Chains A and B, each alone.
Chain A
Amino acid sequence: MTTDNRCSGVRSPLICAYACFFSGLAVAGWVEAAPKKARPAPAETPTTETAAPDPRLAISATGEMSGYYDTDKVSVGSPTIAGNVADPVAGWSVGGRYLLDAVSAASVDIVSSASGRWKELRNVGQGDIKYKPGDVSVDIAGGVSHEPDYLSLSLGGTLTLDLLDKNLVPMVAYTFGHDTAGVSTTPFEIFSRVLIKHTFRVGATIIVDPATSFDIVSDIFIERGNQAKPYRFIPLFAPGAANDLQAGASIAQVNMVRLSLRPGDALPLERNRLALTGRLSHRFSGSAFHVEERLYNDDWGLKASTTDARWVVDVGRSVLFWPHVRAHIQAPVIFWKRVYEASMGPSGAIGVPAIRTGDRELGPLHTMTLGGGLRFRLGQFGGETSWTLTVQGDTVFTKYDDALFITKRTAYFGSVALEAAID
């Protein structure tokens, strides 16, 4: 992987900013940090004005296959291809990515709606252009995601600036998103819901000392439109009829006491969200530790804390191994109810709560993720192309504290990626 290719990934642009800077420091191959193993590190070699620039382009291509399965009978297979072309001397790069999700689901939400197994394909295309002629870097990125019943478009830009000898790299970014949701058998012209998304991001990467960096980012999300899921129908109960329904009540138990009326999901049409993320990375003599904390709040009342940590260990000169742990806890939105009760008018008319949802991810929950990965630098096999293989997996345990049908879910995720880089 070339340094420029790192900048084409999905990681924070802040990290990319200084990763790109290191393109003049870290050439292909691990840069040894331990003194006993130290080779003449390129990073410690003074550059001179007479050094001839390498006129060749840096080209990389990645293929990845990932799979997902959970105990709620949802499975997803996702092949991904990505490519990047960069001219490190001129300071530009162009990248693209294509992902296909093949989803098959017979989850409790689908079964409780008396539907059969549901299958769908999602196509995702993304591209970005980056130009960094000097201390300023501009990155324009766009994406398209398409399913038979959902179309998502986005376009955004990121501006970064190198300050204080690149010890401080502030950034600002904005992304516009336009989502259209429908139902799979009906054209958008007949039925669709539009969601407009504005995302503002401001932050900085700060070099703390020769082995430590710190990222801090604030995200503001402004969303306008209907986010309710057209396929989700809410169990509705007569007043007092569901007092005995506990969290995790089965489909049969719910069906015994629910009303025949099945109103759809209904959510507020505006949502303003705010997140603050800090990320600390420290390089020890034979490993690196990354820890991230994200605090979140929105005007639907959802508050959350997410902690994510990876300890990346050097296993020899060409292998990295990392355990991964992630913990997430959230409080419910203010309109969350395990049981929504209808109101009965004097004439017998049934009143339905105006705002209602069965989306468990809007309720109180906590998750714990345990996993890890391996990255092998396979070498060049005698040619100019260097190969890197990455294998990783996670197991995600989710506990729903106040939801019907299920109270917990275990999900398994794994991926294998092979990258070829031509320098």
Chain B
Amino acid sequence: MLVVLAVLMAGILGACQHVSPYQRARLAHPSMTEDFSSPGAGHMTAIHEGSVGGGGAGEAGCGCN
């Protein structure tokens, strides 16, 4: 998996252009940088989908289902 990741990153980097700090106004727009999900929505997703997991903070096995 790490090899796949490295190859992917190398390919992507090869297709990228160098962006200087003064060129980053659009990347710095709040629509690009802010978080648009909520903790509650994340927990709901974890309950609804069998493949979600490994969050950085503890989540108990809420017995919602």
Inter-chain contact A362/B39, CB cutoff 8 Å: no
By size class, the interface of chain A is 35 or more
A-B contact count (CB 8 A): 273
- Give the number of residues in B that approach A within 8 Å (Cβ atoms): 58
A302 to B44 Cα, complex, angstroms: 19
Q: A275-B51, A302-B51, A415-B41 are in contact. Are A43 and B9 (CB under 8 A)?
A: no
Inter-chain contact B48/A361, CB cutoff 8 Å: yes
- Chain B residues within an 8 Å CB radius of A417: 38
Inter-chain contact A219/B54, CB cutoff 8 Å: yes
Asked if A57 is at the interface of the complex by the 8 Å CB criterion, the answer is no
A201 to B5 Cα, complex, angstroms: 12
The B-contacting residues of A in range 1-27, CB under 8 angstroms, are 1, 3, 6, 9-11, 15, 18-19, 22, 25-26
A25 to B32 Cα, complex, angstroms: 13
Inter-chain contact B54/A175, CB cutoff 8 Å: yes
Asked if A328 is at the interface of the complex by the 8 Å CB criterion, the answer is yes
Residue numbers of A with Cβ under 8 A of B are 1, 3, 6, 9-11, 15, 18-19, 22, 25-26, 30-33, 41, 43-44, 46, 64, 66, 68, 72, 74, 76, 78, 80, 97, 99, 101, 103, 105, 107, 109, 118, 120, 122, 124, 126, 141-147, 150-154, 156, 158, 164-168, 173, 175, 177, 179, 181, 197, 199, 201-204, 206-211, 213-214, 216, 218-221, 227, 229, 231, 273-276, 281, 283, 287-288, 290, 294, 296, 298, 302, 304, 306, 310, 312-314, 320, 322, 324, 326, 328, 330, 333, 359-363, 365, 367, 373, 375, 390, 392, 394, 396, 398, 411, 413, 415, 417
